[in-house]
Amino acid sequence: RPAPKVIACPHETVALSAAHGFAQATGSPQALIVHVDQGTANLGGAVHNAARSRVPVFILAGRAPFTDRGELKGSRDSYVQFIQDIYDQAGIVRPYVKWEYELHRGANIGRIVQRALRLAVAEPAGPVYLTAPREILEEPVSFVELAPPALCAPPVPTVPEDAALREMGRWLCDAERPVAITSYIGRKPAAVAELVGLADQLALPVLEMLPRTSMNFPTDHPLYLGAERSARLDAADLVLIIDCDAPWIPSVSQPPAAARIIHLDVDPLKEDLATKSGAAGQPRWPSASTPGGRRSNATSGGCAPNGGTPRRPRPPANRSPPPG
């Protein structure tokens, strides 16, 4: 197979930003090579962007050599390799990557890279970080072991139990003032059409919450509420959250305490966030379902009779313009 094309970039932020955009455009993870601690630090805000945009990127960084007397090929031969040998190089990006590891032998690089890529594309997708000292990169390798691709496929997204789906459907049908909120559903283009269909069927207004990294809902749709905030949220009796990290800011706007909450997300607990914006204490159905996956019967229950006519009149949009 042909080797991946290497594109030289003048700065690591440029390189990661290019990988970010290419991953979004192609749907495939991208690889990035940076120089030891300095190159890692130069990733800057781009690694934060990749993490919060759920973009799969494999980052390989060198490490300063660990020998200095010529014991191994690749031993230190410059003063800079002493001052670039910091205590915790991975700590520069650890809060923003899903996984970080140091390669200890060249012989197992195939398995390690396969695991890194599998973790990068597993939902919620994101960057991963692998380091390798120069002596390890200089090791001769005659054979790279790779597991069969079928054994390295990302996990299949889970789907809520049928009883939970039916209950969610009843909640949606019973709601008088529902609002849907999403940030990431547009990462799966097929899911956008599903959300539009659900909104049309249930007269369900849709609000986008930042960050908006994809087209989540048509901005010219009558049920589009705009981005970040809407007065409708303050009066909602049901909120359907779909793939969103922070659905509302409590000091600005939030649903009433009695509102029902349905949270469909690949990571509803948000374990990588120190605090979570959400509906503590409110009736809710948290779920690890992935939008755009297996088609469900969540809106069953008789709420759209006569071939899909909404049971509620369509509300006016009352939208606000998207920021920026």
The DSSP-derived string for 42-83 is TTTHHHHHHHHTT--EEEEEEE--S--SSSSTT---STHHHH
Contact yes or no for 183/291 (Cβ under 8 A): no
User: What pLDDT score was predicted for residue 29?
Assistant: 94
pLDDT band at 55 (very low <50, low <70, confident <90, very high): very high
User: What pLDDT score was predicted for residue 134?
Assistant: 94
Which of 228-232, 240-244, 311-315 is the least confident region?
311-315
pLDDT in tens, 182-210: 999 999 899 999 999 999 999 999 999 99
User: What pLDDT score was predicted for residue 304?
Assistant: 41
Residue 30 structure tokens: 């991208």
DSSP state of 308: H
User: What pLDDT score was predicted for residue 308?
Assistant: 38
Opening angle at CA 25, ends 24 and 31, nearest 5? 60
Contact yes or no for 291/243 (Cβ under 8 A): yes
Is the pLDDT higher at 130 or at 322? 130
SS3 139: coil
Is the pLDDT higher at 315 or at 274? 274
Same fold across 12-152 and 162-308: yes
Is the pLDDT higher at 208 or at 322? 208
User: What pLDDT score was predicted for residue 278?
Assistant: 58
Residue 284 structure tokens: 């809710």
Average pLDDT over residues 296-303: 38
pLDDT in tens, 65-122: 999 999 999 999 999 999 999 999 999 999 999 999 999 999 889 999 999 999 999 9
User: What pLDDT score was predicted for residue 286?
Assistant: 55
pTM of this structure: 0.78
pLDDT band at 284 (very low <50, low <70, confident <90, very high): low
pLDDT band at 281 (very low <50, low <70, confident <90, very high): very low
Which of 30-39, 144-153, 177-186 is the least confident region?
144-153
Which of 201-215, 219-233, 244-258, 301-315 is the least confident region?
301-315
Q: For domain 12-152, give the fold.
A: Rossmann fold (3.40.50)
Average pLDDT over residues 207-218: 93
Question: Domain locations in the chain?
Answer: 12-152, 162-308
pLDDT band at 295 (very low <50, low <70, confident <90, very high): very low
Contact yes or no for 43/12 (Cβ under 8 A): yes
pLDDT band at 213 (very low <50, low <70, confident <90, very high): confident
Range from 4-13, 280-289, 314-323 that averages highest in pLDDT: 4-13
Domain 162-308 in CATH: superfamily?
TPP-binding domain (3.40.50.1220)
pLDDT in tens, 117-160: 999 999 999 999 999 999 999 999 888 888 787 777 888 777 88
